[in-house]
Structure 1
Amino acid sequence: MRKFLTLCAVLVVSMLLFGQNQSVVIYAFGSEMITLDPSTEFSNSIVVLNNVYETLTMYADGKLVPVLATEWKSNDSGTEWVFKLRKNVKFHDGTELTSQSVKYSIYRCINLAGGPSYIWDSVESIETPDKYTVVFKLKYPANIPLIAASGYGAFIFSEKVSQIGNDQVITDWFNSGNEAGSGPYVLAKYDPKTQIVLRKFDDYWGGWNNKKFENAIIQIVPDPSLRSQMVTSGKAHITRDLIYDDLKKLENNPNVIVKKKPSYQVLYLFFNTKKPPFNNKDFRKAVAYALPYDDILKYVLLGYGTRPNGIIPKGMVAHADHLEPLVQDLNKADNFLSKSGLNLKSFRVLLTYMQSDEGEKKTAELIWSSLKKLGIDTEIRPMNWEQQWALARSDPSQAQDMFIMYWWPTVMTPYDFLYSMFHTEDQVLFNLSYYYNDKVDELMDRAVTLEGINLKKAEEFYRMVETLLREDMPAIPLYQIDEVYVLHKSIKGFESNPAYPNVVFFYNLETNF
């Protein structure tokens, strides 16, 4: 209780700083920030950056919408894209958005080669024939409008920051709480471990009305129970990542609204295809059909999720609607087990999961119970992420047998899922089933080059990949979680956008009174 009262006192002081006539919305968020450099940030700080910066395009409700770009087109081969920029857009430093700003921002991301820089791999050069025209010349066909909508690495900022110094000096400047975006909010206070304060940008091109929140606070509150108390009491207006049992109770609380929609975040179970017994395809299928998918949804997610048909999550282009989702079928499991010819008494399998994730823990326990009924001796081992990933990236012959991991997209393309987890790798990164199939590689690589010019054909190739992955079963999707936000009744206008995980776009919100 003392912890709650202390935090509330901090929030009251913060709100008083704005004055009585200004409105404040508070987002209670569970994790601290990492970095504020818009060229390299690849973690939690996108909850800040997406309110301070903008991108050329945005992905919303399954389609691309214009933001800093108003229109775009490509040549027939998809190797050249021309964007027209929105006019009369100001950055927070007072300078105007121009084609040079776009060129500088994207080149800085590419040149720093940080976490999200790979999204621009197709770019050969960027030309600026006039103040409001940007031309991307590509090494190979790519869907640049979709890439430009990424929640990481696609932010456009004032080229004036180049005058600060070299790249390291600029990075230090950003991480000290400075910014140069064009978004609806400016950064007023930055304490990455406790609180971030945003203020209205008066000259925002989108304009303002008196119902919008002029100020926003992102309050760092690691304890999910405390976040729940804050939103029910009105000390915070928005939160997420609460304990599922608490969410069920909150659905009946008249002071809050629980909003959920499918995310693009999926939990996968990877099989070690380079090591017995999972180098045996029939054994992999036996395990796949033994798992209690319905129980996992019911007892782990409490219904806050779904089961995707294939690797690509539901709601994304080329989702495997031609396949049925996997279901528990113990007769099939027994048949495949017999077909494998393996002696179950001759081995024990190891399943690893991230120890800090309660959902992964409960899922691992349900998998253990199901495999025990099939006669498969299984060890489930909780590990921190660094240890789990290090083991998985070691020699496959010495690595775990099964590995649980979430994946969510950087760019809203099926390629982000298929390439990262199933494309041949010289050195293991995220292909944690160690699965190498030249046909799968070829099909997904052809598909991504067609996305911008012939999406229907690209979808055909992606579905072929899904069919091959179902046949070979190197990994299986366990569940696709819902994005669940809890809102205080005093706000309206909120809609989550799963393409931008954890981000609350404060500009879209309005007071309900």
Structure 2
Amino acid sequence: MNRRNFLKTTALAALAATTARWNFAMAQGSGIFTLACPTSFPDLDPATSFSNDGAVLANVYESLARYIPATETSEAKIEPLLAASWEVSEDGKTWTFTLRDGVKFHDGSPLTSEAVKGSIERTRKIGGGASFIWGPVASIETPEPLKVVFTLSEPQPLDLIASAGFAAWIYAPSSLDKDNAWFNAGNDAGTGPFKISRYEPGQRAVLERAEGYWGTVPEGAFQTVSFEIVEDATLAQNMIESGQADWTYSLPYENLEALKSNPDLNVVVNPSFETLFGLYNVKRAPLDKPKVRQALSLAFPYDDVIAAGTSGFGTRAKGVVPAGIWGHDADAPIPKTDLEAAKALLAEEGIEPGLELTMTYSTSQALEAVAGELWKANLETLGITLTLQPMAWEAQWQLGKSDPKAAQDIFVMFWWPTFVTPYDYLFNLFHSEEKPNFNLGYYSNPEVDAKIDEAAKLSGTDRARAEALFIEAQRTIIEDAAAIFMLDQPNIHVVRSDVKGYADNPAYGHVAFVNELSR
């Protein structure tokens, strides 16, 4: 049996197992919600999780607040979650959160100010994932069991930070001395509506409803949540059409019209906060030359990728910060496809035909594959060979975090925000790093660093000046051609039509808050 057939057989076996669990749960009347997820969950530690694992953790853990996006009739807002309310001092440096009374962790211990302090301090001490969001916190005090006081070194929108989709989770004191391996063995310590009952890395995570959940539970609520990792889009589509899955995404765009006509399905289309881009390895010749990178960007078929890859649903990216987030630069000087101009720049840098480059992308992302194929065709006319290297996300990420000289030439991925601020995009992807994490083009520009840092400091007191600095930093990044900004994609989730209560929240990338749903 060859590798492809082996993978297909394994996937079909997983599908059969999912069907059996689904039938059993329905027979028991418990109600199971199955998600066919195109990517796995590499880290279930609430302190360090910073990838697709947020989809699982958002149903197990909770933060102090939650971001609610704007609608046609209302502005964006931040709602209390574990915090009942909060106040901020006039200078923007002291934030006092009052916690909900009666909330309990899954181990039965109560939510207290000490638990909040301990969670954030553990996250900061480990220093992994998105722990940077708590950088402005100078001290945390617990004057009362349900009152937490944060003193900041500089004014920052702490309510927005506390609503982040990563690193803002609050967890039980009994877990504060546990290591990463404990969490990734399938243990949890949240306050959320579900607790982890089974975790099989690379295959699935199964959650069961937590007894005594403090929040509202709708009538007909689901009792079990099964996150099934299904990287094959055909299998995921089969599962959602047959009723073996209730929710999925990343299906081929060309199939969406047919799915829309299926009365058993709802195709939910909303603007997202996701940008598709490719980071150039600026540490490797000849990509260390800005004009070479500019030439590659001029050779990219932007309109063709939007048409062929998203069936026209996508829009041109105007840099790394997408529309709908403050700091978006609607007038960014983005390049247009121009093969003659690209050829001239390559000649100016003495690049002869025969250049070979490698582009990595996730095996689960059909759009990234389409973008690569169309770009490859254009580059061939310039005498450049682009080798496309699809990889499982974890493998792609680990390669990117290795020695830049041994890594890929172009790292393609999507980004959505940790919390809704341009700082999240710019700091993670383009701020200088001693050890690569998500700056996987290895870009370093002190001028850009300074503007990102200064804008962050001003975000809580002078939003207009902060936004101007963020835009200036983005324009330098575009001028340096540190990355190719391909498109902004919509959020498209396919949900079974008998599922009630589903609403997409682009602030939390591809997260279904299952407690809000029922059948």
Q: TM-score normalized by structure 2?
A: 0.85
Q: Does 1:97 align with 2:111?
A: yes
| 1:318-364 CA-partner distances (Å, limit 9, x unpaired) | 11123265432456546x638x7234436625242237354333322
Residue matched to 2:306 = 297
Instruction: From 364, 369, 376, give the equivalent of 1:361.
Output: 369
Aligned mate of 1:12, from 7, 14, 23: 23
Rate the CA distance shift 1:445–1:76 in 2: closer, same or farther, 3 A.
farther
The farther-off stretch of 320-329 and 52-61 is: 320-329
The answer (yes or no) to whether the contact 2:47–2:123 under 8 Å persists in 1 is yes
d(CA) in 1 for partners of 2:94 and 2:300? 47
2:423 aligns with one of 407, 415, 418: 415
Residue 313 (structure 1) aligned with residue 327 (structure 2): no
Q: What does residue 486 of structure 1 align with?
A: 494
SS state at 2:217 partner = coil
Q: Which has the larger radius of gyration?
A: 1
> Cα RMSD over matched residues?
3.1
SS class of match (1:420): helix
Note the 1:193-342 alignment, pairs <5 A.
194-201=203-210, 203-273=212-282, 277-323=286-332, 325-330=334-339, 333=342, 337=345, 341-342=348-349
Given that 2:218 and 2:517 are in contact with CA atoms closer than 8 Å, whether structure 1 keeps it comes out as: no
Q: Secondary structure at the match of 1:318?
A: coil
Matched residue, 2:516: 508
CA distance in 1: counterparts of 2:175 and 2:457, whole angstroms: 34
Displacement after TM superposition at 1:232 (Å): 1.6
Q: Which amino acid aligns with 2:22?
A: L
Question: Contact 2:360–2:408 at 8 Å: present in 1 too?
Answer: no
Residues 76 and 370 (structure 1), Cα distance of their counterparts in 2 relative to 1, 3 Å cut: farther
Q: How many residues align?
A: 499
Shift of 1:203: 3.2
State how far apart, in whole Å, the 2-side matches of 1:466 and 1:229 are.
Answer: 41
Alignment partner, residue 440 of structure 1: 448
Q: Distance in 2 between matches of 1:387 and 1:499?
A: 24
1:63 aligns with 77
Could you tell me which residue of structure 1 aligns to residue 457 of structure 2? 449
On the 8 A contact 2:282/2:442 being kept in 1, the answer is yes
What is the rounded CA distance, in whole Å, between the counterparts of 1:388 and 1:13 in structure 2? 37
Q: What is the CA–CA distance in structure 2 between the aligned matches of 1:49 and 1:435, rounded to whole Å?
A: 31
**Gaps in structure 1 of 5+ consecutive residues:** none
How is 1:343-492 mapped onto 2 (pairs within 5 angstroms)? 343-345=350-352, 348-354=355-361, 356=363, 357-373=365-381, 375-382=382-389, 384=391, 386=395, 390=399, 394=403, 401-492=409-500
CA shift, 1:495, in A, is: 1.4
**Structure-2 change in CA distance of 1:151 and 1:355 (3 Å):** closer
Q: Distance in 2 between matches of 1:250 and 1:270?
A: 33
Instruction: Flag the 1:311–1:219 CA change in 2: closer, same or farther, 3 A.
Output: closer
Say which is worse superposed, 33-42 or 247-256, in terms of deviation: 33-42
- Report the CA distance between 1:128 and its aligned residue: 0.6
Query: Which deviates more, 347-356 or 444-453?
Result: 347-356
Distance 2:135 2:60 in 1: 25
Residue 443 of structure 1 aligns to a residue in which SS? helix
Tell me the CA shift for residue 99 of structure 1. 0.9
Residue 492 of structure 1 aligns to a residue whose secondary structure is: coil
Aligned to 1:28: 36
Structure-2 residue corresponding to 1:41: 49
* CA distance 1:172–1:15, shift in 2 (3 Å): farther
* 1:11 to 1:193, Cα distance in 2 relative to 1, 3 A: farther
CA distance in 2, matches of 1:35, 1:213: 25
8 Å contact from structure 1 (residues 262, 305) kept in 2: no
CA contact (8 A) 1:57 1:149 kept: yes
Q: CA deviation at 1:400?
A: 5.6
Deviation for aligned residue 1:372 = 3.3
CA 1:196–1:277 in 2, change beyond 3 Å: closer, same or farther?
A: closer
Name the CA shift for 1:344/1:156 in 2 (closer, same or farther; >3 Å): closer
Structure 1 counterpart of 2:149: 135
> Which deviates the most, 105-114 or 72-81?
72-81
Change in Cα spacing, 1:405 to 1:44, as seen in structure 2 (3 Å) is: closer
Aligned equivalent of 2:4: none
State the partner residue of 2:121. 107
Unaligned ranges ≥5, structure 2: 1-8, 70-75
What is the TM-score with the length of structure 1 in the denominator?
0.86
**Hey, what's the Cα distance between the residues in 2 that align with 1:345 and 1:48?**
49
Work out whether residues 352 and 382 of structure 1, in 8 Å CA contact, stay in contact via their aligned partners in 2: yes
Q: C-alpha separation between the residues in 1 aligned to 2:154 and 2:265? A: 49
1:76–1:453: 8 Å Cα contact kept in structure 2? no
What corresponds to 2:159 in structure 1? Answer: 145
Whole-angstrom distance in 2 between the partners of 1:91 and 1:389: 33
Greater shift, 476-485 or 69-78, is seen at 69-78
2:334 and 2:478 in contact (8 A); partners too: no
2:306 alignment partner, SS class: helix
Alpha-carbon deviation of 1:455?
A: 2.1
Query: 1:32: Cα distance to partner?
Result: 4.4
Deviations 1:164-219 (A, max 9, x none): xx434xx5554454433222234444445555444444533332342433443334
Query: Could you tell me how far 1:265 is from its partner in structure 2?
Result: 2.8
The alpha carbon displacement at 1:490 in A equals: 0.6
> Taking every aligned residue pair, what percent have the same amino acid on both sides?
35
Separation in structure 1 between the aligned mates of residue 409 and residue 229 of structure 2, nearest angstrom: 37
